[in-house]
Amino acid sequence: MKKKHWILIGAAVLIVVLILVNIKARRGKALAVQVEEIERRELSMIISASGSIKPKRHVDISASSIGKVTKVAVEEGDFVEKDQFLLQIDPMELESTVSRIEAAISASMAAERQATAQVKQSERDLERTKRLYEQGYLTDQEVDAAQTNYDVAVSRHDATLHDIEQQKALLKSARHNLKEVTIVSEMSGVVTRLNVEEGETAIMGTLNNPGTVLMEIADLSTIETEVEVDETEVVHISLGDRSNVTLDAFPDTTYAGEVTEIGNSPIYSASSSSQQAVDFKVVITITDTIMNVRPGLSADAEIIVAERDSALAIPIQSLTVRRRRDLKDNAAVDSTAAEGERDEIEGVFVVEGGRAVFRPLNIGISSQKYFEVLSGLKVGDKVISGNYQAIRNLKDGQMVKVSKRADKKE
């Protein structure tokens, strides 16, 4: 073999040896990681949502008849008592209607008296005709005519009575309409909205068109927050769950509340994708007093749906997923996993003897920073908590070294 060939073979062998040495050196190099010692903590699972506040009781006062507003006795922000006078709509047309119906009733009653007299007269004529007929002085036709006159008189009398009843019903309705143009408060509360001024025309509502909302009165003693919660989170909320509410108008104050209503009908809203986002209405009644409150203020709510007084907890960033075939101790995985046949296993890496060892876990509730551990760890275990790149690339059994701040390059 030529000398040149021996030189090439030697160079190739040298390259292979260098590669193997480099691989062995890299395998032996420990990865710098951060760890956190497992301990028991107080955990709270919180669902955050946004919305606005509104009074629990409020009424919209609308016009029940068309007319010009002739007097407004309150201003926005005034406190009013139940049955207090609020405003007046021009009653002239309705007053004339009442007067016209009252006159019609008087005429009908006069007609009824006349009809009563005619009934009595026709009744006497009928009796006289029957006596004369029995004495043979009158014919059958004359008796029939007298009977007919009596029946007609009775019918006219009944008609006048029905007419009076009809007119009285119309009068009752007209008086009710007249009363409605003098608007009084249906409840005690604050005038939170005033939409009309003197001289404007109030329009009554119809089947398809709402009438003019003249004003709104609200009882501000009980305030609610309406928020929209995603469908994946609303299933965790129960009636009575505690909540902390913050208003944008008072960002430094937190108000206590509790969930008093959970909607059953979905609220669809357009999302960035082709599918629609589905939310549900959740009502939180605020138990604290809010000074200078205004309906419609923006609010952020944190609903506490679960709490643990002393739970084993791991940092959220420590939880990771590995495929079964990438783990060394599959028997340990099968013994702790609820579903032994699943390919991906949730767990964390703990430091044991200078190596990262994967531990499968059963996870409970989650707080903003920690997961509750139901099984798979004990107090004092050192869980790898950083950095994110290290946790994502860690392999079961890989050598590691603990540092306060892991090297970004590593």
For 359-368, how does the pLDDT look when each residue is reduced to its tens digit (9 = 90+)? 999 999 999 8
Q: Is the pLDDT of residue 112 over 50?
A: yes
User: Strand ranges (DSSP E) for 120-249?
Assistant: 182-184, 189-194, 201-202, 213-230, 242-247
Identify the CA nearest to 362 among candidates 314, 310, 324, 309: 314
Tokens coding 30: 């420990």
Q: How long, in residues, is the chain?
A: 410
Distance CA 201, CA 264 (A): 40
Looking at domain 50-54+221-307, which of 2.60.40.1180, 2.40.30.170, 3.40.50.720, 2.60.40.1220 is its CATH number?
Answer: 2.40.30.170
Confidence at residue 274, expressed as pLDDT on a 0 to 100 scale: 52
- How confident is the model over 136-140, as a mean pLDDT? 87
Of 44-58, 194-208, 339-353, 390-404, the range with the highest mean pLDDT is: 44-58
State the DSSP H helix or E strand holding residue 17, giving kind and residue range, or none if neither: helix 3-28
> Is 160 a residue whose pLDDT tops 90?
yes
DSSP class of residue 399 equals B
pLDDT of residue 401 exceeding 80, the answer is yes
How far out from the chain centre does Cα 3 lie? 88
Does domain 28-42+311-402 match CATH 3.40.1180.10?
no
pLDDT of residue 387: 83
pLDDT given at position 29: 72
